[in-house]
Structure formats: C-alpha cells, structure tokens
Amino acid sequence: MKDYPNIILLTIDALRPDFIDCYNDCGLTPALKKFAKNSIVFENTFTQGPLTPLSFPAIFTGMYPRKVMDGFGKINKNFPTFAQILKEKGYETCGICSNHFLVKGTGFEKGFNIFYDANDFMKVGGLLYRWIYPAAFPNADTVNEKAIKMLKKIKRPFFLWIHYMDTHGPYFTGIKFNPVHKFHNEFLWIKATRRPKSVTKKEKRKLKTLYKKAIQYIDQKLHELFKVFEDMNLFENSIIIITSDHGEEFAEHGEFSHSRKLYDELLRVPLIIYSPKSKHARIKKIMGLIDLLPTVFKIAKIETDINFEGKDILNFERKYVISEANPDKQKNFIAIRTENWKYIFDEEKNKEELYDIRRDPLEKKNLVEKVSKQILYEFRNILKEFTESCPKTGNTADRYFDDKIKKHLEFLGYIDEMK
Ligand SMILES: [Zn+2]
C-alpha cells in the first residue's frame, strides 16, 4: 500500500467565516489564526445547501446533493463516500459526529469502521441527560474526549471525521453549567427560530454574543485538539481540513438560525486545509464544498476513477457555484454565485433575484428589473443547463427520522423540516 497521509476532517456546524480571524480580524479565534498561518486558506467557498442534510451530501461525495440525496436526510447508497473510498484504499476510518441529522441509518455512516453518532452520545443518561447536560447536543469537550481516545487506538493511515455542534443554536458557550442561563438561552433560541419577528434588538444582540462565545469556546477546544496532534506528531503526516456545512443568519433577511434561503450569510463557509507539503497560501478562486473531496484527494495523491462533479480547485477555474435550498423537493430554488453576481430563482414563487455583490454585498437591492436582458439570459441558460444535465434522482417525497431524532431536531429549530 502507498504511503498515504492521514486525513482529518473537522467540520464545525453553522460557522461563518466573517467570525474567524483569518477571514476577518475579529479577535475571536487565536487557535484558528495560528493554524491558518501554515495552511491554505480558501477565501470564497460556498456550500451547496443551507442546511446540514443539503450540504453534507456534497462534502461526502463530491456530487451535487440533488443527485445523491434519497429524500431529505438520507444519501443514496449507490454513490461512494469520502470514507468508503478511503477505506478501499486501506485507510482505517472513524467518524465522531454530534449532529442528529448525521446518524446511523442515513447513509452518512457508510465506509466508517467506527462511527459514533449523536444518539450514541445522548444515550448515556436518557432523558435526564438532556436536562442536566450543559448543552442541547454533545459539546466539544465530550466530542474531543471521544476523538482523543480513538486517535490513540486507530491504525495509520486513518481518516478521522469530527463534527462539532457548539456553534449551532442555542449555542454552547462552554460556561460552567448554570440551569438559569441554559434555559434562558434555550427559550430565546426557541423564540428566534419560531417567531423571528418578535425578537427585539437587545435579544438579537444577545444571540450574536452567544454565537461569538460559542466560537471562542470551539476555538479553545481546537487549540486543545491541536496540542494532542502535536504530541502525536500528526502535523508531520496528516492533511487537516477545517470547514463548515453552512453559515448562520441573524435576521439579515428576516430569520434566525439557517432557513432554506440562499443569501451569502448562509452560503459562504470557511475552508482551511493544512498539508505538511504545502506552504501557506490564500486562494481567492470561487469554489463549492463539492470541490473539497477532489481537492483533498489531489493534495493527498489519492487516485480514483470516480467522475466527481466537483473539481480539484487548485488546478481548475470555476466560473460559478450552484447552491440549492430545495434539492429534495419538486420545485427548484437555486442560486448561481459568480465572483460578482448572485442570481436566485425560486420556482415556487416564480421569482428571480439578482444582486451585484461588489456594490451590494449584503444582497439588499434586487436588480432583476434594472440590468440588461443579456445578463439575465446568461444566468437563465446556466440554470437550464444545470437542471437538465443534473436531474434530481432521489425520492423527493421521502424523509428519514425516527420519533426520538424528530423531537430533538424540532427543539433545535427545524420545525418545517419535521412536518
Ligand atoms: Zn448544519
């Protein structure tokens, strides 16, 4: 077997790049700042979907979610995943995930020799655990503890995927358990996700502060994890990837958390890749999470004859990235993002939006009625070509959740998704 590097994929739920120091000097993430200094920082990465189940199919398969999804929450077993491909190459594969969407039975566990999911974590003490445990999901302390145990046992080369939830609402800030704080924050979160219009300015500030504190907490936990990597000499022979599945919104377009919308506060994600053989670089090219797998495989010199829809972005110039809010539904809701423009088409409402990102980065002025017909014509053509060449192949009616998971996801704010 070839001398492959270890691959460590760290995904942090709902993490916006403008709250990280290597993208924006905000002073919140010293560990990530240091990590980025020796890594490749991708400045313009966009998710293929604004929710975990709409985004992870692209991360794990290098394919558009509409093609590989089997209803909402599941991936089709016919498409090989990151872990499956690496396992075939001789990797030991281990997944440790705290997100209730990515559990055994959804297909996201495929190819992992060891897969520890959110249900395994929460099983520890049943319902009581839910009330006395400081977070609404397994927090980074708990996840790291498990990951470090695994690291000590795992054979090399290995693929280790760790998913953190702390930056997901109701935001876990790492402060010592205090039931008053915990329930106050959870009630504010429930209000923000169910009745966004009733959130006051003060409450909005509070939500943002909690989000920032959660980011500081996760940065501290990454610092501790990197220390373990150092002690185990993993920086010498491992590719380490840090990214997120989507962004987070604070009523920029009316809602909180992450709804089925296609604005940049939800679509732009961080992507930082460390490789012992690469120098620090900043890549401004536009890319999607769909390109992550082919790019990492190229860096790791892993060859496969799978025809990914994503590309090795270090050797490819993308003109645009496509993201979808409804890959699991009949009607399309699609965004096409170029360096300078964002075009959105909502088939249900038969509505088009077009934003000039350079002049209007917050996407507030819809220019559909104002731009030349030629610009719109080009976007409509890209859309037509995409929907024809990449049909939705999954069962668009199916949803996969057992009652226990459903309850938990409802609490986390996914009300519409559970209907
Ligand atoms: Zn997510």
Residues 174-187 have pLDDT tens digits of 877 677 777 888 89
Decide if pLDDT at 356 tops 90.
Answer: yes
Average pLDDT, stretch 140-150? Answer: 95
CA of 99 to the centre of ligand 1 (A): 8
Q: How far is the CA of 101 from the centre of ligand 1 (A)?
A: 8
3 CA distance to ligand 1 middle (Å): 33
d(CA 412, CA 351): 30
Q: How far is the CA of 416 from the centre of ligand 1 (A)?
A: 15
Asked if the domains 6-319+393-418 and 329-391 are classified in one and the same CATH topology, the answer is no
pLDDT reported for residue 373: 92
Cα 368 to ligand 1 centre (Å)? 31
Q: What percent of the chain has pLDDT over 70?
A: 92
Question: What ranges do the domains of the chain cover?
Answer: 6-319+393-418, 329-391
Tokens of 34: 């240091």
Whole-number Å distance, alpha carbon 13 to ligand 1 midpoint, is 5
CA-CA distance, 295 to 273, in Å (whole number)? 10
Tokens of 212: 């920032």
Distance (Å) from CA 86 to ligand 1 centroid: 24
Cα of 84 from ligand 1 centre, angstroms: 22
pLDDT digits 0-9 by tens, 265-288: 999 999 999 999 999 999 999 999
Q: What is the pLDDT of residue 409?
A: 74
Model pLDDT, residue 127: 57
How far is the centre of ligand 1, averaged over its atoms, from the C-alpha of 375 (Å)? 33
> Would residue 126 be called left, alpha or beta, if left means φ above 0 and alpha means ψ between -120 and 50 degrees?
left
CA-to-CA separations, 87 to 2, 296, 337, in angstroms, rounded: 13, 15, 34
Instruction: For tokens 């739920």, name the residue.
Output: 13
Report the Cα 13 to chain-centroid distance in Å.
Answer: 6
Q: What is the mean pLDDT of residues 364-377?
A: 95
Q: Does the pLDDT value for residue 253 go beyond 80? A: yes
* Protein residues within 5 Å, CB atom, of ion ligand 1: 13, 52, 245
CATH 3.30.1120 fits 329-391, yes or no: yes
Record the tokens describing residue 298, joined without a space: 């190229």
Residues paired with 239 in a beta bridge: 7
236: CA distance to ligand 1 center in Å? 30
What pLDDT does 179 receive? 73
* Mean predicted confidence (pLDDT) in 134-139: 80
Distance 14 CA to ligand 1 centre (A): 5
For residue 393, the CA-to-ligand 1 centroid distance in Å is 23
Q: How confident is the model at residue 419 (pLDDT cuts 50, 70, 90)?
A: low
pLDDT tens column, 201-242: 999 999 999 999 999 999 999 999 999 999 999 999 999 999
Distance CA 64, CA 42 (A): 20
Mean residue pLDDT of the chain comes to 92
Rounded to the nearest whole angstrom, what is the distance from the C-alpha of residue 51 to the centroid of ligand 1? Answer: 5
Distance (angstroms) between ligand 1 centre and the Cα of 307 equals 26
Q: What is the 3-state secondary structure (H, E, C) of the chain?
A: CCCCCEEEEEEECCCCHHHCCCCCCCCCCHHHHHHHHCCEEEEEEECCCCCHHHHHHHHHHCCCHHHHECCECCECCCCCCHHHHHHHCCCEEEEEECCCCCCCCCCCCCCCCEEECHHHHHHHHHHHHHHHCCCCCCCHHHHHHHHHHHHHHCCCCEEEEEEECCCCCCCCCCCCCCHHHHHHHHHHHHHHHHCHHHCCHHHHHHHHHHHHHHHHHHHHHHHHHHHHHHHCCHHHCEEEEEECCCCCEECCCCCEECCCCCCHHHHEEEEEEECCCCCCEEEEEEEEHHHHHHHHHHHHCCCCCCCCCCCCHHHCCCCCEEEECCCCCCCCEEEEECCCEEEEEECCCCEEEEEECCCCCCCCCCCCCCCCHHHHHHHHHHHHHHHHHCCCCCCCCCECCCHHHHHHHHHCCCCHHHC
Q: How many CA atoms lie within 13 A of 205 on its CB side?
A: 3
Alpha carbon of 52 to ligand 1 centroid (Å): 4
pLDDT in tens, 290-300: 999 999 999 99
| pTM recorded for the entire structure | 0.95
The Å distance, Cα 246 to ligand 1 centre, comes to: 6
Residue, of 397 and 250, whose pLDDT is higher = 250
CATH architecture of residue range(s) 6-319+393-418 = 3-Layer(aba) Sandwich (3.40)
Side chain identity at residue 371, one-letter code: V
